[in-house]
Structure 1
Amino acid sequence: MSVDVPRRIVIFRHAKADWSQESDHERPLAERGRRDAPAAGRWLASAGIAPELTLCSSAVRTRETWKLAVHELPQRPRTVYEDRMYEASLGELIALVNETAEDVNELLLVGHNPGMHALADALAGDAEGDALARMNRAGFPTAAIAVLTFQGTWKSVEHGVGRLTAYWSPQE
């Protein structure tokens, strides 16, 4: 596999969750989350995001976010509900990305903070326009999305390898 293969990583924080009596893993989306998740899906579609693979945390709020967002995409990617994404550290998230099959050129992750923000910030070696400043100023709120590109293999993903090409949040 050539190291010059263009890749895209899309990092998507789950939409707003309800503070119910459920355990943290079982918390469902709040009403605002059920509105923001489809809006995020529409933004993904309008931005031309077409992941071949989605890794989604197994938590209820991430699964619900993805199910509402994916309906807005022109094509449904293969989705893997990944237990290791729940409460994953930055290092664990990078390790999951490193495991991606080389025939995947566009990967979407649906997870939780602080991991999603940490991953986007760590991978962004540079950025287009004010995307990095906007992302860090906003603190990666619920339903936020960061899009990064890089050249190479998934095993080569490490700090600073990517270029932040877009950042979106329903709060902007």
Structure 2
Amino acid sequence: MLRHSASSGADGETKDADRPLTREGRALAKSVATRVDDAGWTPDLTLCSNSRRSKETLEIMRDEVNEAFGTKGRVMYLGSLYHYASLDGVMRQHLSECVVKQTTAGDGADGEEGDVVECEIVTDARTIMAVGHNKGMEEAASEYCGRDVRLQVATAALLERARGEGDTWASAMADAGSWTLVAVATPEGIIQI
């Protein structure tokens, strides 16, 4: 779970979804990319909000660590991750549905309005990164692991779940509260939990 990096404030002329990263935000994205890459948190599939600040965060991270984040065909930009982030109590369920759809053969990537659907179905995904916004990202991470998770800008939380025999992404994502918060990556370093 990754919260986008620092972006410009609302100026009355720019739509919220179109706000770019600041100079500081670009530097923070580079730093957190290095921390996450050094820790080996390379995703097999990335689900990213289609807001400008989320896309820029992912692009900067990819450029910083030689495309480790965002392998072609394994990134999906979703307008819904932007919209659902502001709604109370729905982000975890929506994110779970997105993960299942993108990891289950035959389901296809239909997408919703505002989605950029060029992502293949990734049935072999073991690590998935979600890039988005608060309050939804914190809320979803907290629900998955059953404890309070705080995500400042350019901060990632690594959640793990033991894999049982016959486990699928559908069963894993439906099993809220069974995930473990392992560590948090900030631009300054990794905090083991």
Bin for the TM-score computed over the shorter chain = 0.7 to 0.9
Which segments of 5 or more consecutive residues in structure 1 lack a partner in the other structure? 1-10, 126-131
Q: CA deviation at 1:72?
A: 2.8
**TM-score normalised by the chain length of structure 2:** 0.72
The reply to whether residue 145 of structure 1 matches residue 167 of structure 2 is: no
The reply to whether residue 123 of structure 1 matches residue 147 of structure 2 is: no
Correspondent of 1:42 among 7, 31, 34? 34
Which segments of 5 or more consecutive residues in structure 2 lack a partner in the other structure? 85-89, 104-122
Q: Which gives a bigger RCO, structure 1 or 2 (Cα 8 Å, sep 6+)?
A: 1
In structure 1, C-alpha distance between the alignment counterparts of 2:99 and 2:182, rounded to whole Å = 18
Report matched runs for 1:1-172 at 5 Å: 11-19=1-9, 20=11, 21-74=13-66, 75-76=68-69, 77=71, 78-88=74-84, 89-90=90-91, 91-101=93-103, 102-125=123-146, 136=149, 139-150=150-161, 151=163, 152-156=167-171, 157-158=173-174, 159-170=176-187
1:9-37, Cα deviation, whole Å (9 max, x unpaired) = xx000001101431011111122211100
Q: Which one is further off, 76-85 or 115-124? A: 76-85
Q: CA deviation at 1:145?
A: 0.3
Q: 2:118 matched to which residue of 1? A: none
In structure 2, C-alpha distance between the alignment counterparts of 1:15 and 1:116, rounded to whole Å = 13
In structure 1, C-alpha distance between the alignment counterparts of 2:28 and 2:99, rounded to whole Å = 26
After superposing on structure 2, the runs of 4+ consecutive aligned residues of structure 1 that deviate more than 3 Å are none
In structure 2, C-alpha distance between the alignment counterparts of 1:38 and 1:103, rounded to whole Å = 28
In structure 1, C-alpha distance between the alignment counterparts of 2:178 and 2:65, rounded to whole Å = 27
1:29-62, Cα deviation, whole Å (9 max, x unpaired) = 1222111001111011111112111111110000
Q: Residue 97 of structure 1 aligns to which amino acid in structure 2?
A: V
More strand by share: 1
Aligned residues: 152
Q: CA deviation at 1:140?
A: 1.4
Percent identity reads 30
**TM-score normalised by the chain length of structure 1:** 0.80
